[in-house]
Amino acid sequence: MSRADPPNSFAETHSRARQLQAAGHLVEAINLQLNLIRRARHKGVVAAEYYHSLGVMFFAARDFPNAAAAFACVQRMDPGFHAVAMNLGLSLVRCRRGACFTLCAIMVRTRRSCWPGCGVV
């Protein structure tokens, strides 16, 4: 999609990424969702829901550290997004690696994210 995409193209891309995820095409879904987030950030219209969907996709791909980072980003962007708390907790538990769990726990406690583009370094 080009820079001249109509405003609804973000919603269409998000929907397509979720369809790919539902069909089990996780790599393609994650890549499409990452591209969506990059384009949305460039235009200043990134939504917490985009990161939440990315976290769900990473979780489905069993990439728990990236899922936790994406969910922490949602929590940072929209503290009222209550569905993310359970997903973040499950991702942290599933990490099963002490270093990952410790890093993510600190990240959540300090409300910082290691996920690029979340607006927090």
pLDDT tier, 103 (very low <50, low <70, confident <90, very high otherwise): low
- Write down the pTM of the prediction: 0.77
State residue 96's pLDDT score.
67
Question: Does residue 110 carry a pLDDT above 70?
Answer: no
Tell me the average pLDDT across 7-21. Answer: 88
Helix (H, G, I), strand (E, B) or coil at 105: helix
Q: How many helices (H) and strands (E) does the chain have?
A: 6, 0
State residue 120's pLDDT score.
37
Instruction: Output Rg (C-alpha) for the chain, integer angstroms.
Output: 14
State residue 68's pLDDT score.
87
Domains (range + CATH), the chain: 9-109 (1.25.40.10)
What is the full DSSP assignment across 1-33?
Answer: --TT--TTHHHHHHHHHHHHHHTT-HHHHHHHH
Q: How far apart, in whole angstroms, are the C-alpha atoms of residue 85 and residue 92?
A: 11
